[in-house]
Amino acid sequence: MDDNTTTLARLKQNINSDIFKRSDRNHQRKNIVSDLYRLHEKHKGKLSTSTISYLTKDLDYAIAQNKSRAEQLSQNIYSIIPHSFGDHSKCDLSWCNYHKDPENYKHESLPYGNNLNVEEMFADLSKLFDTYAKNSDKLANCGSSQGNESLNQIIALKAPKAKYFGSSESLPFRVCVGVFQKNEGRSYIPQVYEAHKLSPGKFTVMHTSKIDKKRKHDKVNASNREAKRKRLVKKGKFNLNLKAKEIREGVTYATSISAPAKSSENVEDISHIPDPEPEVTEDPVSLKDETFVYFDLETTGILTKALQNYNIMKNFELKCGGFIYTLSLTKELLPDRKTNKQSYNQESLVKDIVGINYDAHNAIGDVQSLQQLINTLKVSPRILEKHSFSVQYTVYMIS
């Protein structure tokens, strides 16, 4: 059960006073994370998000390793904050590696492996973790309400709350179907059709078995270590991306962001829709009497990176107007190849148009045949210009 209802108080009063509540693991975790983020606001620039994820991870481990052992859990929680500030006197040898090699010990997940060291943060964090330690019996006996939430979600789709099905004869069917879907998957749909002497459509059968297969696959993946790690990385990337966007645009979505009390602070951010990011155009180069240099380059990004690394970008730009993208060029010039499903790779283009075979693994052969190809195609400067892009564009793209 989550901590959002008064149901328990009523149950105790009216049914049985021995009933006790187990908190939901995920809700507990969310509460802990939001507590830490409140401190993050207070200690801006000192309590970083990576420190927060380190502390939540420590707490997660402690909770997972001390199921139903409230006393042990409480001791572990008390030692987390001193441990991260470098005091290992209270740490348990089962999880703290400091005592194995005190000289070379580094924290695995704290920035640069260093101890935390901001004094005022220590007081606040200790206070917070002390309250968790005091409530360790609650944390050690967490359950998961995920199964309930998921069934509730399924039934809510079959009998939406916004429509009144409470007195409808269809309600029992709707609930039964929800339960069936939760337990067995969607295979009931073709069966229901058959029972009513209707032939289930080909696509219905295909679709239901596809969804059931995915469900099985997801179920296996949910507990697989590699998949868990992937999910974590994906989440990290999402948050990073979100942070970057919030820096550029300001916060655009948060609980009661446009409520009167808050809107005065954010009035700048929400009353003005920021200008769109300038669209990345390929920035064509104007061609006059240019000399074309044919070069074997798999991607311009590598060249640009190398030029930047050696600080010769400015000089290069003075000499080089830009690049021409030969793939999009040949695609425009030879649209029939697409209809005929012919390849646009250089080897087959040279073979079909210039009429020669060349060794694609030989860089010189490669550039010579490219030159022959472009010459044979007799491309007009206007078309070349259209498929060109400046050196600056490549810099923009790799940054």
CB nearer to Zn ion: pick between 64 and 242: 64
- The residue with tokens 């820096």 is 247
**Min separation Cβ 78 and Zn ion, Å:** 12
Per DSSP, the residues of 221-271 read HHT-HHHHHHHHHHHHHHHHHHHHHHHHH-----TTTTSHHHHHHHHHHHH
- Which residues sit at the interface with Zn ion, rule CB under 5 A? 83, 88, 91, 96, 98
Residue 306 and residue 297 in contact, taking contact as beta carbons nearer than 8 Å: no
**Min separation Cβ 57 and Zn ion, Å:** 14
Residue 56 and residue 29 in contact, taking contact as beta carbons nearer than 8 Å: yes
What DSSP character marks residue 24? B
CB nearer to Zn ion: pick between 83 and 387: 83
**Min separation Cβ 226 and Zn ion, Å:** 29
Q: Which of 328, 326, 385, 332 is nearest to 350 (CA)?
A: 326
- The residue with tokens 């001791």 is 75
CB nearer to Zn ion: pick between 115 and 199: 115
Q: How many Å apart are CA 271 and CA 260, to the nearest integer?
A: 13
**Min separation Cβ 39 and Zn ion, Å:** 21
**Min separation Cβ 85 and Zn ion, Å:** 10
**Min separation Cβ 126 and Zn ion, Å:** 15
**Torsion sign (Cα): 2, 4, 9, 14:** negative
- The residue with tokens 């969310």 is 30
**Min separation Cβ 273 and Zn ion, Å:** 50
- First-to-final CA distance of the chain: 47
**Torsion sign (Cα): 111, 115, 118, 122:** positive
At 88, which amino acid appears? Answer: H
CB nearer to Zn ion: pick between 81 and 324: 81
Q: Which of 73, 93, 83, 52 is nearest to 133 (CA)?
A: 73
SS3 151: helix
**Min separation Cβ 79 and Zn ion, Å:** 7
Instruction: Tell me the two tokens of residue 131.
Output: 């309250």
CB nearer to Zn ion: pick between 115 and 380: 115
CB nearer to Zn ion: pick between 79 and 369: 79
Q: How many CB atoms lie within 10 A of CB 251?
A: 12
**Min separation Cβ 91 and Zn ion, Å:** 3
Instruction: Tell me the two tokens of residue 200.
Output: 């289930």
**Min separation Cβ 165 and Zn ion, Å:** 56
What DSSP character marks residue 388? E
Report angle CA 111, 85, 60 to the nearest 5 degrees.
Answer: 70
SS3 324: strand
